[in-house]
Chains A and B, each alone.
Chain A
Amino acid sequence: GESVGLHLPTLSVQEGDNSIINCAYSNSASDYFIWYKQESGKGPQFIIDIRSNMDKRQGQRVTVLLNKTVKHLSLQIAATQPGDSAVYFCAENYNAGNMLTFGGGTRLMVKP
């Protein structure tokens, strides 16, 4: 399949460690944010979302943190597994419409 992240920043972690992927968003009016995981040759897969009236949201092994003051999102993955290896994108949505604006993405590589 096609590689989706040839020139993306890369985070390399050891299996079992925690991962933190960061994202800066652009629009202070954005009020909904999503993290997607994209494996090579596949479409983006929903991981977790958060609304702007929240600072933190937890899912299974994943946590998203939102800092509206500095327009920053982070995705924390606990006990990272080889299956977590992929490109991760944050996306923002603002009330002007329902389109998503994606960040540049980060490639996560998990070493066994």
Chain B
Amino acid sequence: GAGVSQTPSNKVTEKGKYVELRCDPISGHTALYWYRQSLGQGPEFLIYFQGTGAADDSGLPNDRFFAVRPEGSVSTLKIQRTERGDSAVYLCASSFGQFPDTQYFGPGTRLTVL
């Protein structure tokens, strides 16, 4: 079946602008995760959804970052007033949400803030 998909694959924006990144998880997966990966590093956790609710948002760096999953499927990561330090690859993963379980990742969105 189809894997996790993310759009856009690349996003270039200017400092101070607002961006939205979309994740479409594997069908049937109740858990959805956002991670951020900087060059040369492993992914870092941002937020975890179980169904429609954010079960853990402890990884969001500040209040400029927000994510939603209104119908328990597609999720959108929103970044306000982007800064150059926000430039990274944003990865989405999904799973069945039962510990322990395997998280399957999408291809990521590469965000560049000029």
Interfacial residues, chain A to chain B (CB-CB below 8 A): 2-8, 31-32, 34, 36, 41-46, 49, 51, 89, 91, 93, 95, 97-105
Chain B nearest CB: distance from A99 CB in Å?
A: 4
Which residue of A6, A8, A34, A43 contacts B91 across the interface (Cβ within 8 Å)? A43
Q: Which B residues touch A3, using CB under 8 A? A: 39
Chain A nearest CB: distance from B105 CB in Å?
A: 4
Q: Which A residues touch B31, using CB under 8 A? A: 98
Chain A nearest CB: distance from B9 CB in Å?
A: 9
Report how far A101 CA is from B48 CA in the complex, Å: 13
Report how far A43 CA is from B97 CA in the complex, Å: 19
Report how far A89 CA is from B99 CA in the complex, Å: 20
Does B82 count as interface, using CB distance less than 8 angstroms?
Answer: no
The answer to whether A98 touches B102 (Cβ under 8 A) is no
Interfacial residues, chain B to chain A (CB-CB below 8 A): 4, 31, 33, 35, 37, 39-45, 48, 55-56, 59, 89, 91, 93, 95, 97, 99-108, 110
Across chains A and B, the number of contacting residue pairs, with CB separation under 8 Å, is 79
The answer to whether A5 touches B91 (Cβ under 8 A) is no
Report how far A3 CA is from B38 CA in the complex, Å: 10
The answer to whether A6 touches B106 (Cβ under 8 A) is no
Q: Which A residues touch B44, using CB under 8 A? A: 102
Q: Which A residues touch B107, using CB under 8 A? A: 41-43
The answer to whether A97 touches B110 (Cβ under 8 A) is no
Q: Which A residues touch B101, using CB under 8 A? A: 98
In the complex, besides A98-B31, A99-B33, A105-B42, 18 extra interface pairs with C-beta distance below 8 angstroms are A4-B40, A8-B40, A32-B100, A34-B103, A43-B107, A44-B91, A45-B105, A46-B102, A91-B42, A98-B48, A98-B95, A98-B101, A98-B103, A99-B48, A100-B33, A100-B35, A101-B45, A102-B43
The answer to whether B99 touches A6 (Cβ under 8 A) is no
The answer to whether B45 touches A99 (Cβ under 8 A) is yes
Known: A102-B42, A105-B42. A46 touches B104 (CB 8 A): yes
The answer to whether B55 touches A97 (Cβ under 8 A) is yes
Q: Which B residues touch A49, using CB under 8 A? A: 100, 102
